[in-house]
Structure 1
Amino acid sequence: MTPIPSLPACPNPACEQPHVIRNGSSKGRRRYECRGCGRFFGETEGTPMYRLHTPVAEVAQALLVVMRRGSLRAAEEITGHKYETIGEWLRRASMHAEALTAILTQDLHLSTVEIDEFWSFVHKKTEPPMK
């Protein structure tokens, strides 16, 4: 018997009695409805993947290359995605640092040093240039 995947939480912070149910799919992506507040949302809402058209595996690979090589240009050459696109993925990742750190630790089995180097690089690349 396969376990039932957990449903995402309602993204509406004002929702007082969240009760999320599945509500079909759109363009191949699962949709949900909160019966508490009536809001409809996708499975990636509130994540760095929200409204991205690139598959999760490709984004993860590009960010992993950036982390390991320390270079957006290297990630561009290896993955075939534009430098600016990978930079945008880094900015999105930095806004969700806590959750992504947990994923990097659990799913990718990265060491604390590797994760620290990654966030140092992200911080350096997402700072506005000095004038």
Structure 2
Amino acid sequence: MLPEKESIRGVARATGHDKDTICRWLEIAGTHPKEVTDYFLINLNLKRVEVDEIWSYIKSKKM
């Protein structure tokens, strides 16, 4: 519901959970992708051109 632009309070009302619980779940959900990214992006030793190519690829895939 949050990715669909619902408010935290709206999600809390719809699910019957406290807004603090929703915030805690949101924090947990946001921490995992950061940990995965940090794990895979350590010591890549990329040149500037390679990084630019990666970002170009990522931007081309956005909808």
Superposition TM-score, scaled by structure 1 size: 0.25
Higher strand fraction (1 or 2) = 1
Superposition TM-score, scaled by structure 2 size: 0.48
